[in-house]
């Protein structure tokens, strides 16, 4: 344990800061100039008779930098949860649109071309969303919708507008809404990563609410945890720990199976020399007695412990007889000399730590290889309070943004 494993873990611990620094540097756009700006972001919400929501999104997106991570070619926008249907594009710039569930719940939009610095693209689409309300959530007899539009971890939103059809609404919050014809409207702006949540309340009989359909939040996975560097690091650490544990138990089982693990039964022989007469009262020693029956004085004159097969010179004439006694008991060698035989369990010859040290140092050691990953970076648009997902810009797979000079055909 002190050689191979200690060296391995020292190297691993020393490499951790380097690995974390590299992983932290990968999402470089968070520390560089902004790549994009969203000047206007609106969501129009209408409640259907079956209590699902028709949601229409409109996003005006300006590209500020198409060099650092390439031009804008596709984005992903966070949506409330996986219960989404009837996804439909409403603008010509959208080449394809679909539900995207990598790391959360999104709508993925592939654009009709590459959009470069200074260009503005307006993406408009709609879909039907379910599992967005909670019956009797705040007050019995009332059903509440909660909605947080997708937020962007690395992009500012100049203006966010949430338009909610006002039919049958009995309460809406936050209270700083405006009323437009047929709508409650909330206007705000969002800094990077900032969220904004609205709640709208209806009576339980306003629509065909289903008590089994409760607000469902998508699992939000932080973007850095989806990056290839983090995933590779987590897998490498997991495999390393798993291999160490497996190797430890293999070594343990081998040690247990070896003779070194088993306790040994050791024969212990002691030669007892007795007084012929009691040194205290002078009474003759009765056969087999260790103490004087008259005064209680110990009658054993001397005890000599035999170490393994080494017999003291003065007992050499009894050597064969002494060594032949293997069973527990006391045996007579002469009228005043006896050999007492017992046994003890001795600990293993080899301790586990010593065995493992020998096992580790005796193993052959090989060199390590290298692994590479192709990277794709995206700014996250997340939605929570019945929407929790990441989304944002992409289009970086076609370029080598981190100067690795790695080509996909290498893998």
C-alpha atoms less than 13 angstroms from C-alpha of 281 in its C-beta half-sphere: 12
Which sign does the torsion angle of CA 258, 261, 262, 263 carry?
positive
Q: Which residue's structure tokens are 């409207």?
A: 185
pLDDT tens digit string along 52-111?
999 999 999 999 999 999 999 999 999 999 999 999 999 999 999 999 988 889 999 999
pLDDT tens digit string along 3-62?
555 555 556 656 666 665 555 555 444 446 899 999 999 999 999 999 999 999 999 999
pLDDT the model gives residue 391: 56
pLDDT the model gives residue 8: 59
Q: Give the integer Cα–Cα distance in Å for 156 and 36.
A: 8
List, in order, residues 6 or more apart from 47 with CB less than 8 Å away. 53, 145, 165, 167, 168, 202, 206, 207
Nearest Cα to 121, choosing from 161, 159, 92?
92
CA-only gyration radius of the chain, Å: 41
Q: Give the integer Cα–Cα distance in Å for 239 and 156.
A: 39
pLDDT the model gives residue 359: 60
pLDDT the model gives residue 343: 76
Cβ count within 10 A of residue 82? 15
pLDDT tens digit string along 177-205?
999 999 999 999 999 999 999 999 999 99
Q: Quickly list DSSP for 231-273.
A: HHHHHHHHHHHHHHHHHHHHHHHHHHHSTTTS-EEEEEEEEEE
pLDDT the model gives residue 263: 60
Strand partners, 381: 152
Q: Give the integer Cα–Cα distance in Å for 32 and 67.
A: 12
Residue 304 exposed, middle or buried by CB count within 10 Å (0-12, 13-18, 19+)? middle
Nearest Cα to 201, choosing from 235, 175, 178, 222?
175
């Amino acid at each position: 344990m002190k050689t191979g494993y200690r060296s391995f873990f020292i190297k691993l611990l020393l490499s951790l800061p380097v690995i974390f620094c590299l992983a932290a540097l990968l999402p470089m756009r968070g520390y560089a100039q902004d790549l994009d700006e969203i000047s206007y972001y609106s969501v129009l919400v209408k409640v259907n008779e079956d209590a699902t929501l028709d949601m229409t999104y409109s996003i005006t997106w300006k590209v500020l930098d198409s060099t650092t991570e390439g031009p804008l070619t596709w984005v992903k926008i966070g949506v409330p949860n996986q219960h989404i249907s009837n996804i439909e594009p409403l603008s010509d710039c959208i080449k394809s649109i679909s539900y995207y569930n990598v790391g959360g719940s999104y709508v993925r939009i592939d654009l009709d071309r590459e959009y470069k610095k200074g260009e503005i693209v307006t993406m408009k689409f709609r879909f039907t969303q379910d599992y967005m309300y909670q019956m009797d959530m705040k007050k019995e007899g009332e059903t509440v919708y909660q909605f947080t539009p997708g937020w962007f971890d690395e992009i500012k939103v100049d203006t966010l507008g949430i338009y909610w059809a006002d039919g049958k609404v009995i309460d809406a919050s936050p209270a700083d809404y405006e009323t437009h014809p047929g709508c409650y409207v909330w206007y705000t702006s969002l800094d990077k990563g900032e969220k904004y949540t609205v709640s709208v309340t209806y009576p339980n009989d306003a629509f065909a609410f289903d008590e089994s359909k409760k607000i469902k939040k998508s699992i939000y996975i932080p973007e850095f945890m989806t990056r290839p560097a983090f995933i590779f690091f987590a897998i490498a650490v997991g495999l390393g720990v798993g291999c160490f544990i497996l190797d430890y138990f293999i070594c343990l089982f081998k040690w247990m199976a070896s003779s070194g693990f088993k306790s040994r039964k050791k024969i212990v022989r002691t030669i007892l020399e007795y007084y012929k007469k009691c040194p205290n009262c002078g009474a003759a020693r009765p056969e087999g007695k260790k103490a004087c029956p008259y005064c209680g004085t110990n009658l054993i004159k001397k005890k000599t412990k035999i170490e393994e097969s080494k017999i003291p010179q003065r007992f050499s004439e009894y050597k064969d007889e002494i060594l032949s006694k293997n069973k527990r008991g006391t045996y007579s060698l002469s009228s005043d000399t006896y050999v007492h035989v017992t046994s003890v369990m001795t600990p293993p010859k080899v301790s586990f730590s010593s065995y493992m040290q020998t096992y580790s140092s005796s193993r052959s050691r090989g060199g390590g290889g290298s692994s590479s990953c192709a990277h794709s970076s995206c700014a996250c648009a997340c939605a929570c309070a019945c929407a929790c997902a990441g989304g944002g810009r992409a289009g970086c797979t076609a370029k080598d943004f981190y100067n690795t000079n790695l080509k996909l055909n290498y893998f």
